[in-house]
Amino acid sequence: MKTISRLVTLALVVSLSSCVTQKTTPISQADAAKLKGATLAAADRDPPPFTAMTASKAALGAFGIIGAAASAAAMTSSGEKIVKENGVQDPADQISRELAQALASSRGVKVAASTGTKVTSDKVKEVAAAYPGSDYILDVRTFNWASVYFPTSWGHYRVVYHVRMRLIETKTGRIVAEGFHSRIPEKTSTSPTLDQLLANQAARLKQELQLATTESVAHFKRNVLGL
């Protein structure tokens, strides 16, 4: 059972990191020049379910399709409870705000006020159609966020995070810039136990997500937006 649970954990981490294309398209100098004075809207999305994986829940996946479904449901239910009870926020919102502010100060874009319009589609033209009043759309989307125990140390956990950003030209539905970032921490002497991760209104969990936010913003600014 221990071997099976380790394999399930490794499979989850691999699937989280390969769930979406990791293509990077840096903004060109020509497109960067066009941003000055243009309006920019931030796409508004609901976050995906937070996944809370423990050895006991992962072990359910060893019992075929039904077991795998039960395991996934248990991890999602537990994760959503953690998020709701502790006020844990999807990092995508802060990443979007910071990137929009950086584009405003460095590229001269005008950040539009939120219209309250949410998007669910990942199709570029449908995202563009949701915000017709802006010249560009900053689409930052969390694909997976989860607390996962280490396969070699069941009592300790890491918080993994996977996010993608796209800068879309509204009129043409063209992706001007695109990038992906993952944070999958290695085991260290300070890796928390589950109790430590969730103590004090999940303070350590929030800290780990803030680290993911900071790393993601820096990555997108440097490698995608040229800021």
pLDDT tens digits, 154-211: 899 999 999 999 999 999 999 999 999 999 999 999 999 999 999 999 999 999 999 9
Q: Kindly report the pTM of this predicted structure.
A: 0.85
pLDDT score recorded for residue 102: 97
Spell out the SS3 assignment of 160-178.
Answer: EEEEEEEEEECCCCEEEEE
pLDDT band at 74 (very low <50, low <70, confident <90, very high): low
pLDDT tens digits, 88-123: 999 999 999 999 999 999 999 999 998 889 999 999
pLDDT band at 58 (very low <50, low <70, confident <90, very high): very low
The proportion of the chain whose per-residue pLDDT surpasses 70, expressed as a percent, equals: 81
pLDDT tens digits, 12-33: 444 444 455 568 999 999 999 9
Please report how the helices 194-223 and 64-86 are oriented relative to each other, as an axis angle in degrees rounded to 10: 90
pLDDT score recorded for residue 55: 62
pLDDT tens digits, 121-170: 999 999 999 999 999 999 999 999 999 988 888 899 999 999 999 999 99
pLDDT score recorded for residue 68: 43
Range of the domain at 96: 2-223
DSSP state of 44: B
pLDDT band at 4 (very low <50, low <70, confident <90, very high): very low
pLDDT score recorded for residue 78: 79
pLDDT score recorded for residue 189: 94
Instruction: Give the total number of structural domains in the chain.
Output: 1
**Which residue carries 């004090």 as its tokens?**
200
Token output for 219 = 């990555």
Task: For residue 54, give the amino acid letter.
Answer: T
* Distance separating alpha carbons of residues 88 and 74, to the nearest angstrom: 19
pLDDT score recorded for residue 204: 98
